[in-house]
Structure 1
Amino acid sequence: MATRDGNVDPTTGSQRLDKDTRETVVRAARHGILLLWSLVVLFPLYWLASMSLKPPGEANQLPPDWIFLPTVYNYIQLAQSGEFLTAFANSVLMVSASVILVLLIGVPAAYVLSRYDIPMERDVLVWILSSRMLPPIAVVIPFFVIFQSFNLFDTRIGMVLMYVSINLSLVVWVMKAFFDGIPETLEEAARVDGATRFQGFRKVVLPAAKPGIFSVAIISFIFAWIELLFGLVLTSFKAVPVTLFVYSFIGSRSIEWGMLAAASMAMILPVVIFLIAVNKYLAAGLSFGVVIKE
């Protein structure tokens, strides 16, 4: 910046340099904090993976061996275990079916609650949410009695229905927020072009709400995949989920740390694959919608 006598003020350049330096330092500090936090968050996963690759005698050594010769012995033992493969297949089948079913029920229900004038709508929403207010331990015994009465105990269909009941309120509440954020004028324009209400919902609203659908699908999948209590009480042999099989490595006298870590890593894999497959919708989905109603 020039002064009155035509000379350049040297303090302007130094101030600009100081500002750039501060921004660089702040940016570097921010990235350093994020990197440190990522290391803290990922360290348990690294510990679990390293434990699964250690020989049985070294998995629970203290202090641990940070440098060791990895082995896939624990994974081979899992692959050769028919019980683990059956439990893993049970979980994949039951959880996938429950996610599809809860979306087929919850998404249209949320659309109706968003677009139509429902008598006592707030009470209906609170009633739907009330299914998640009680802790699972408070309702598992009534569910056990109901399952016994309807011959659903230790059945895959029964567990699918259980997973649906766990996640339905979540899907309805989150998807209603998405549909509230999508302007009704889009559907009105589609109806002007000759589309029916259902065609407008299928061709206009659902594509706009796709990030929300994938988000609730991910959350529903995770909640059902990691569920343990209902599987422990409502199954015995045929419909045992993989979480219950992993829990079996914790005995009353000892814990098979290597097998437990390997089974846990195998449990994490489907969730990671699912997240990678729908990653592009996740960020937009967690922001509750892509179109904001004016």
Structure 2
Amino acid sequence: MSGLSVDRKRQLKEVGRHGILLTWLAIALFPFYWIVTMSLKETVDALAIPPEWIFVPIFDNYLELMRDPDFAVALANSFLVVGGSVLLVLLIGVPGAYALSRYEVPAERDVMIWILSSRMLPPVAVIVPFFILYGRLDLLDTRIGLTFILTTINIAIVVWVMKAFFDGIPPALEEAAMVDGATRFQAFRRVVLPTAIPGIIAVAIISFIFGWIELVFSLVLTGTETRTAPIYMYQFIGSRSIDWGMLAAASTVLVMPIVLFLVLVNKYLAAGLSFGVALKE
């Protein structure tokens, strides 16, 4: 009887644990569910109180969105700018993090804090100097200008995460390669980089998300030809009314690349954010 009692308690604990997890999952997913359902409703139903939980979905908002050439341009701008910034931030941040991990850098702690401080500043605190600087360099309303800004924003995250990841990779691996005749760069490229792939993918995902949702710099430094998808959505917010259906449809389309990206590389993200602990062990 005591054995059955223990098993019963264990089952109840498992049920309770799964119930808590499912509750939190429902709470986390509810805003996304609300936006998606709002995009599939008529305007009257979208604003109905109490909400219309059962309704006939319509796709007019999505069809109108896809027929708008400005939306395609804005979406393409987002992919180009964010993709370019992720590539740049990896090319700069990964070797920088490796150097900070493997070499004796004077005042390394101060350097790391200085790098992190660039992420601490709110965009509104530096947007005016950047606007003046970009005006003098003719980078206003350019994709390359916004790419540089997003690179600057995300470089701190890449350096901090990848340094911790490289710290978890035993130096003996590359030392063994150099004993066999490889140079430091060859050991980095052939031994360290393949081992660090989960961390690189993790910081690439994080940089992509932060760049994809960036609003303040995109709002001030871009124009009609270079505006990104988040800025495009502002046209549905008027001074007297808000087109909730179109806004919800645009929000859903904007979120989907991030969701699909996370689903496809979820295992790499989990491994990368472990900071190399498994390698240390």
Determine if the alignment matches structure 1 residue 190 to structure 2 residue 181.
no
1:1-294 correspondence to structure 2 within 5 Å:
14-289=1-276, 291-293=278-280
- Unmatched tracts of structure 2, length 5 or more: none
- Unmatched tracts of structure 1, length 5 or more: 1-13
Count of residue correspondences? 281
Q: 1:27 deviation in Å?
A: 0.5
Name the structure with the higher helix share. 2
Aligned residues: percent identity? 59
RMSD: 1.2
Partner AA of 1:78 in structure 2: L
Cα distance in 2 for partners of 1:61, 1:46 equals 16
Partner AA of 1:90 in structure 2: N
Partner AA of 1:171 in structure 2: V
Partner AA of 2:73 in structure 1: T
Q: 1:42 deviation in Å?
A: 0.8
Q: Contact 2:167–2:276 (CA<8 Å) still a contact in 1?
A: no
Cα distance in 1 for partners of 2:30, 2:114 equals 41
Encode CA deviations 1:128-163: one digit per residue, 9 max, x unaligned.
111112111101111111110100001000000000
Q: 1:196 deviation in Å?
A: 1.5
Partner AA of 2:130 in structure 1: F
Relative to the length of structure 1, the TM-score reads 0.93
Q: 1:290 deviation in Å?
A: 5.6
More deviation in 23-32 or 245-254? 245-254
Cα distance in 2 for partners of 1:100, 1:277 equals 19
Relative to the length of structure 2, the TM-score reads 0.97
Cα distance in 2 for partners of 1:154, 1:274 equals 28
Partner AA of 1:28 in structure 2: V
Cα distance in 1 for partners of 2:144, 2:47 equals 39
Cα distance in 2 for partners of 1:36, 1:290 equals 30
Encode CA deviations 1:219-256: one digit per residue, 9 max, x unaligned.
10000100111111111212101001112211111010
